[in-house]
Amino acid sequence: MWNMMESRGVSSIIFDLDNTLVDTAGAGRIAIEKVCELLNSMHVQESHIKDICHRFLRKLLHESFDPSEGKTIDEVRIHHWYEALQETQGTDPDPALANSCYDTWKNTRLQVLTLTPEVRSFLEELRKNYKLLLLTNGDTQTQWEKIEAVRCEGLFSLVVVGGDHPEQKPALSIFTHCFESAGVRPKDCIMVGDSLSTDIQGGINARVRATVWINSDCKSLPQGSVTPDYTVPSVLNLNNVLLELS
């Protein structure tokens, strides 16, 4: 079966990491639940707890991290928790509580994050016929910690973290770096990811053979959005795409 999948047209598959190969969103939800439990045990007013967590998540979503400013990502995110506590409670919180919130959130997320046995086996089979590349956006420390936590580096011929480079997806430069480092051509590759604005747009910018959108929630394509060549609910559904492209 796997030999049948070997494609003359596609020799390399570029994968995104978060919410493509691993359920980062799910791990994040569990991490927030743990912080809620911590705050509850510290006798923080129950009506404040959800608001504190929502404020942290909003800050995380709109985060702009610049390592040249001299702060670590840990310091930036501890400060998100500090501000969330401060804004909700109307007073300056104990800095130790902001630290505890961050440690609980970060450590839980990394502990829960996993490459499922099914996805790991699938990647191990794919790498017999395809050169697999991992291309993930995000700051250097956070993304390498995730890669280490899920023990996936050995499955890929090349691992590229956006924070290690001048530009991240969807910029053409980071794709060019991947192609040159892996010794592949854009037309030999497919790009697989959950983000229309970074993975799919980036794949189109880089002129890969095809783009594959991982749409686990079966969302409809937003109006005015870039259009992927293929849409599947999980990476485990890639076989059909690869057969079609062979």
| pLDDT of residue 5 exceeding 50 | no
Q: What is the mean pLDDT of the chain?
A: 95
**Confidence (pLDDT) at 8:** 57
CA 150/CA 25 separation, integer angstroms: 15
Provide mean pLDDT across the span 39-56. Answer: 96
Tokens 């280490």 map to which residue?
148
Residue 65 belongs to a domain with what CATH number? 1.20.120.710
For the sheet with 158-161, list strands across it. Answer: 158-161, 131-136, 12-15, 189-193, 210-214, 230-232
User: Considering the domain boundaries, does residue 42 fall inside one?
Assistant: yes
**Are 34 and 73 in the same domain?**
yes
Helices marked H in 127-227: 140-150, 172-182, 201-205
Domain of residue 128, CATH code: 3.40.50.1000
Residues 131, 77 share a domain: no
In a domain, 215, yes or no: yes
d(CA 184, CA 160): 15
CA distances to 33, 71, 81, 168, 188 from 40, rounded to whole Å, are 11, 30, 15, 38, 53
148 and 237 share one domain: yes
Residue 196: domain span: 12-23+114-245
Model confidence pLDDT, tens digit, residues 224-243: 999 999 999 999 999 999 99
Same structural domain, 132 and 232: yes
pLDDT tens readout for residues 186-205: 999 999 999 999 999 999 99
Side-chain half-sphere of 80: how many Cα atoms within 13 Å?
A: 24
Nearest of 198, 206, 246, 207 to residue 225 by alpha carbon? 198
